Amino acid sequence: MKIYIASPLGFSEIGKKFYYEELITLLVKEGFDVIDPWVLTPQAMISKVDGMEYGQKKKEAWKKLNKEIAERNADAIDSSDVLLAILDGTDVDSGTASEIGYAFAKGKTIFGYRGDFRLSGDNEGAEVNLQVEYFIKESGGEIIKNYSDIPYHLNKIFNS
C-alpha cells in the first residue's frame, strides 16, 4: 500500500526529526510504501533558487520551481492508495489542507493524525477545520490521536 504523507513537518528541524525517525520509520517497519513529498524535488534544485540574489530573477525562478514542486506532489498523490495528513497545530497547515482536498477529489482514502491536544476545530463539534474533517471522514478515513496506532487503522481499512 502506497501512503502519501501530507504535512508541514519538513519545514522545521524538530519536525523532520519526528517525521523521519519516528513516523516514516514506523510505517516502513509495518510494511507500508511511503511516498515522501519532501524528497520528490531534489534539494539541489531548491538550494539553487534559494541561493540566488534577491530580485526579479529569483522571484521568477521560484514561480517556476513552485509549479514543478506542486506538480510532483499532485502526481505522487495520484499514484498513492491513501493520504495520511498531519493535523497538529492551532490550525491545519494550508498546504496539507490543500492536499487533503485534492486527495478527496481524486477518491483517495484519507487519514489524519492529530496528537496535539489544543483546540483547533471551528466549534465544539469539530476536532479540526470542519471541511478538513469532513473530507477525511467522508473518504472512509478517520482522525487518529496516537501515531503508534496509525498502522492499525491503515491495516483495518485495507484488510476489510
Q: Which domain holds residue 77?
A: 2-158
- Beta-carbon neighbour count of residue 127 at 10 Å? 18
Whole-number pLDDT of residue 110: 98
Q: Kindly give the confidence (pLDDT) of every residue in the chain, 160 residues in length, as a single tens digit, with 9 standing for 90 and above.
A: 899 999 999 999 999 999 999 999 999 999 999 999 999 999 999 999 999 999 999 999 999 999 999 999 999 999 999 999 999 999 999 999 999 999 999 999 999 999 998 888 889 999 999 999 999 999 999 999 999 999 999 988 877 6
Q: Cell triple for residue 120?
A: 483547533
Q: Cα–Cα distance between 77 and 95 in angstroms, integer?
A: 13
Q: Residue 61: which CATH number?
A: 3.40.50.450
Q: Cα–Cα distance between 41 and 38 in angstroms, integer?
A: 7
- Tally of domains in the chain: 1
- Cβ pair 101, 129 in contact under 8 A: no
This prediction's pTM: 0.94
Q: Which position has the grid cell 501530507?
A: 6
